[in-house]
Copies of this chain bind each other. A is one copy, B any other.
Amino acid sequence: MATLCLPYQLSPEQTEKLDTIIQRHRPLQKRDVLIHNGEPLKFLYAVRSGSLKSYTLDSQGSEQIIDFHLPGDVIGFDGLIDGNHRSYTQALETTMLCEIPIQSLDQLSAELPGLRKQMLRLMSGELHASKTLLGTLNHHSAQQRLANFLVTLSSRFQQRGLSSRSFRLSMTRADIGNYLGLSVETVSRILTQLQQEGVLAVQNKLVEITEPERLRALAA
């Protein structure tokens, strides 16, 4: 169970201990909301399959997507600041999760330095990704942003043992635009443009990156 949920370099003994605190969560259906803004943080969630988006609502009640979660990701770190979740998290498709009780995790991490390090590494990685994205969005054109988004997705899929060349976008064009600070129309236009240039082939949700090198060059 622990290996499925937190597939990281831990010793068998450590894995066994982790197993005792991790629970399987009921599966989520598309559009189910896992986490509501402001809720007390009791668990972290590890994604086993499927995908989710995290978002906040601004003063006018409109969504601001701040993250997409894929299998292997851990959800909830940003709530550790005061023990409350700081965003909504919603399933983009049928999704399986593990839940990890914060309190047990904290206790366990006192005796397992490897686990402690792993948690720090996960948070640090998220922090780094988030700051990198900031730089990306601030200084790049719509095409560069989208290229970067696709390259990042692609490498995340690869890290998880899936194909980096062809995959399914579980989020809508509107979600992508929202996340990248672009309008739906712009996202759509750029996708067709990239397709015309032969960099990739899109068919609805399915993307095949035909020339990864060129896409990576565009993302720079």
A residues within 8 Å of B by Cβ? 56, 58-59, 62, 64, 66-67, 77-82, 86-87, 106, 109-110, 113, 116-117, 119-121, 123-128, 130-135, 137-139, 178-181, 220
Contacts and interface: CB of A to CB of B under 8 A. Distances in A.
**Looking at chain A's contact residues, is the secondary structure mostly helix, strand, loop, or mixed?**
helix
Contacts of A179: 138
A106 B112 CA distance: 12
Given A78-B124, A81-B121, A81-B124, A66 B131 contact: yes
A124 B79 contact: yes
A132 B80 contact: no
A66 B134 contact: yes
Contacts of A62: 139
A54 to B, nearest CB: 8
A218 B27 CA distance: 42
Contact of A135 (B64, B82, B125): B64
A80 B121 contact: yes
Given A121-B81, A124-B80, A125-B81, A56 B106 contact: no
A202 to B, nearest CB: 23
Contacts of A137: 134, 137-138, 181
Contacts of A59: 220
